[in-house]
């Protein structure tokens, strides 16, 4: 995984080199932007601020996404990323990538995992600004009470992604036996 830490100085950051769309079964159109380093952004809405030419989504991104939306376990480990965020955000996003397909964690569990046990809200905020949902699976993080919690793409999308991975829900609550707590 390629990552770029946020320093406030964006002069050294590589610009987007392309953007395109991917049709995700059950979710509709995803908008992707990438640089020469890897995926910069995935959005459920049109990317209005990308100053690059539209192009077909490169195979290195499209094939794992296709497998994922076909219901095959996919960890996206080989997908190059160009993540840009603070040191804390990068730690959270790295922890999210370690959550296996079909499993969930709590915000508190992720906070403990990254050695910041009181930072549950900050973990939630890092999830909210995650630039590459699905590949960095913020949808796999739920509230301590087993409720879905929030999701930048909307609760219906979060539920659809979890159900695609075999997570059983009833009225927005995870069914017993599906959480690993730290």
Q: Give yes or no: 138 in active site.
A: yes
Residue 42 lies in a domain: yes
Residue 80 lies in a domain: no
Query: For residue 150, what pLDDT is reported?
Result: 86
Residue 106 has pLDDT above 60, yes or no: yes
CA angle 91, 16, 53 (to 5 degrees): 150
8 A C-beta contact, residue 17 and residue 34 = yes
Residue 133 lies in a domain: yes
Residue at a domain's end among 69, 94, 115: 69
Residue 16 lies in a domain: yes
Query: For residue 177, what pLDDT is reported?
Result: 61
- Residue 45 and residue 15 share a domain: yes
CA angle 165, 115, 178 (to 5 degrees): 25
CATH of residue 42 = 3.30.160
CATH of residue 94 = 1.10.10.10
Residue 161 has pLDDT above 90, yes or no: yes
Residue 76 lies in a domain: no
Domain that holds residue 26: 3-69
Residue 181 lies in a domain: no
**Domain count of the chain?**
2
Residue 1 has pLDDT above 50, yes or no: no
Residue 176 has pLDDT above 70, yes or no: no
Query: For residue 110, what pLDDT is reported?
Result: 97
Query: For residue 56, what pLDDT is reported?
Result: 97
Of these residues, 111, 138, 141, 167, which one is catalytic?
A: 138
Highest mean pLDDT among 25-29, 57-61, 102-106: 57-61
- Residue 60 and residue 90 share a domain: no
Residue 180 lies in a domain: no
Residue 182 has pLDDT above 80, yes or no: no
Residue 123 has pLDDT above 70, yes or no: yes
């Amino acid at each position: 995984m390629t990552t770029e830490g946020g320093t406030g100085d964006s002069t050294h950051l590589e610009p987007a080199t392309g953007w395109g769309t991917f049709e995700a079964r059950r979710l509709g159109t995803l908008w992707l932007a990438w640089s020469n380093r890897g995926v910069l952004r995935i959005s459920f809405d049109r990317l209005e601020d990308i100053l690059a030419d539209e192009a077909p989504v490169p195979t290195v991104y499209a094939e794992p996404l296709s497998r994922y939306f076909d219901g095959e376990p996919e960890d996206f480990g080989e997908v190059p990323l160009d993540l840009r965020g603070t040191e804390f955000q990068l730690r959270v996003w790295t922890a999210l990538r370690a959550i296996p397909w079909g499993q969930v964690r709590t915000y508190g569990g992720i906070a403990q995992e990254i050695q910041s046990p009181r930072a549950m809200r900050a973990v939630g905020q890092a999830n909210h600004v995650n630039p590459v949902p699905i590949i960095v699976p913020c949808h796999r993080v739920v509230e301590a009470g087993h409720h879905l919690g929030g999701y930048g793409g909307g609760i219906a999308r979060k539920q659809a992604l979890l159900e695609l991975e075999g997570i059983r829900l009833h009225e927005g609550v995870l069914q017993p036996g599906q959480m690993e707590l730290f």
